[in-house]
A and B are shown apart, each in its own frame.
Chain A
Amino acid sequence: MNRKIRENFKLYTGMLISGLMLILAVIGLKFTPYDPNEMDVSSKLAGISMAHVMGCDNFGRDIFSRILAGIGTTMTVAVGTVFIGIVLGTVVGALTGYYGGRVDEILMRFNDAVLAFPALLLALVFISVMGPGKYNVMTALGILFAPGYARIIRGEFLRCRNLDYVQSAKLMGAGDMRIMFVHILPNAFQVMLSTIAIGFNNAVLAEAGMSFLGIGVQPPDPSLGLMLSEAQSYLFVRPGYAICTGIAMVLLILGFSMLSEGLENNA
Chain B
Amino acid sequence: MRYIGKKLITMLVTVLIVTLLVFFAFRVIPGDPAVNMLGIKATPEKVERLREQMGLNRPLIIRYLEWLKDFFFGDMGKSYSYGSSVSDMLKSKIPITVALTLISFLFVIAIAIPLGIHTAKHEDKWYSKVLDVLNQIMMSVPPFFIGMLLTYLFGIILRWFTPGGYVSYRDSFAGFISYLILPSLAIAIPKAAMTNKLLKSSLLKESRLDYVRTAYSRGNSTSEVLYKHVLKNAMIPVITFLGMTLADIVAGSLIVEQVFSIPGIGRLLITSISNRDYPVVQAIITIIACIVILNNFIVDVLYKMIDPRISR
Contacts and interface: CB of A to CB of B under 8 A. Distances in A.
Interface residues on A, range: 35 or more
Nearest to B269: A124
A103 interface: no
Contact of B144 (A110, A124, A209): A209
A209 B248 CA distance: 12
Interface string B255-295: 10011000000000110111010100100010011001100
Contacts of A258: 136
Contacts of A242: 145, 148, 152
Interface in B291-305: 292-293, 296
Contacts of A212: 144, 255, 258
Contacts of A127: 273
Contact of B142 (A129, A205, A239, A257): A205
Interface string A218-260: 0000000000110110011001001100100110011001100
A129 B137 contact: no
Interface stretch (A22-30, A86-94, A115-123, A142-150): A115-123
A215 interface: yes
Contact of A215 (B156, B251, B273, B288): B273
A129 B29 CA distance: 6
B134 to A, nearest CB: 12
Interface residues of B, number: 45
B65 to A, nearest CB: 20
A250 B137 contact: yes
A117 B289 contact: yes
B54 interface: no
Interface in B7-41: 14, 17-18, 22, 25-26, 28-29
A253 B156 contact: no
Contact of B18 (A113, A201, A205, A213): A113
Nearest to B17: A113
A209 B142 contact: yes
Contact of A235 (B25, B136, B151, B270): B151
Given A113-B14, A214-B274, A120 B251 contact: yes
Contacts of A128: 26, 272-273, 276, 278, 281
Given A116-B293, A121-B288, A124-B273, A232 B148 contact: yes
Nearest to A239: B152
B139 A257 contact: yes
A116 B276 CA distance: 26
A235 B285 CA distance: 32
Interface string A189-216: 0000000000001000100110011110
A253 B139 CA distance: 9
B270 A213 contact: yes
A41 interface: no
A163 interface: no
A182 interface: no
A70 to B, nearest CB: 13
Contacts of A231: 148
A257 B190 CA distance: 13
B247 interface: yes
B110 interface: no
A242 B22 CA distance: 36
Given A121-B285, A214-B274, A235-B151, A254 B140 contact: yes
Contacts of B181: none
B149 interface: yes
Contacts of B131: none
Interface string A121-138: 100110111000000000
Contact of B140 (A110, A117, A209, A253): A253
Nearest to A121: B251
Given A113-B14, A129-B28, A232-B148, A254 B136 contact: yes
11 contacts: A113-B18, A116-B292, A116-B296, A118-B247, A120-B255, A121-B285, A121-B292, A208-B144, A228-B145, A246-B145, A246-B149
Given A208-B142, A209-B142, A215-B270, 17 more contacts: A110-B17, A113-B17, A116-B293, A117-B18, A120-B251, A121-B289, A124-B281, A125-B25, A128-B273, A129-B29, A235-B148, A235-B152, A239-B152, A250-B145, A253-B141, A253-B142, A254-B136
Q: Would you list the 8 A-B pairs with minimal beta carbon distance, nearest first? A: A118-B251, A254-B140, A253-B140, A246-B145, A128-B273, A120-B251, A121-B251, A118-B248
